[in-house]
């Protein structure tokens, strides 16, 4: 069983390990974060927490039943009731419906806890798994875009608050 947790300071070490262990795996479908990301990780993590405290973003980690970090699901650039969804599921959890369930939960949180009315997401065209996750969660294609020099697509989902 996976559980979604709001990003906290004490997630830093596990998140860094997760990003390092999955760097090659992620680079196959999304642009690489570069070496600077890892060198400056501690200050970046603190900056993310400050953005979250200010309500500009909502960051989440996905923990497995053994307490290992299996993924992350983020809502960034919160503005005027909308945000951009981003997610990374580690290689060991891929292909088991984990991303679909995590995105579903974050969409629920976005509508209820964060009071957002719409989400956007982008993915590269050579990442059919990510496109399927978005489709299963009610995202509609909006337009073709470039992502780090690669062809991609932008999606959008309207949210309705549930009680």
Q: What is the mean pLDDT of residues 87-98?
A: 89
User: pTM of the predicted model, to two decimals?
Assistant: 0.89
8 A C-beta contact, residue 125 and residue 143: no
For residue range 99-155, list pLDDT tens digits in order.
Answer: 999 999 999 999 999 999 999 999 999 889 999 999 999 999 999 999 888 899 999
Q: What is the mean pLDDT of the chain?
A: 92
Q: What is the dihedral of CA 109, 145, 128, 137, to 10 degrees?
A: 20
What confidence tier does 27 reach under pLDDT thresholds 50, 70, 90? confident
* CATH topology (fold) of 3-158: Aminopeptidase (3.40.630)
Domain boundaries along the sequence of the chain: 3-158
**Radius of gyration of the chain, Cα coordinates, nearest whole angstrom:** 15
> Which residues, 6 or more positions from 58, have their beta carbon under 8 angstroms from its beta carbon?
6, 52, 74, 75, 78, 83, 106, 109, 110, 114
């Amino acid at each position: 069983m996976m559980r979604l947790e709001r990003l906290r300071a004490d997630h830093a070490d596990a998140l860094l390990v997760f990003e390092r262990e999955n760097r090659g795996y992620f680079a196959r479908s999304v642009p690489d974060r570069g070496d600077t990301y890892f060198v400056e990780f501690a200050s970046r993590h603190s900056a993310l927490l400050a953005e979250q405290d200010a309500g500009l973003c909502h960051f989440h980690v996905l923990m497995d039943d053994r307490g290992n970090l299996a993924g992350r699901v983020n809502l960034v650039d919160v503005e005027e009731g909308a945000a951009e969804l981003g997610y990374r599921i580690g290689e060991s959890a891929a292909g088991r419906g984990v991303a679909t369930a995590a995105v579903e939960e974050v969409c629920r949180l976005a509508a209820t806890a964060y009071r957002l009315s719409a989400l956007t997401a982008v993915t590269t065209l050579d990442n059919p798994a990510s496109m399927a996750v978005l489709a299963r969660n009610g995202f509609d294609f909006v337009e073709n875009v470039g992502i780090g020099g690669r062809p991609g697509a932008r999606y959008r989902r309207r949210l309705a608050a549930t009680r």
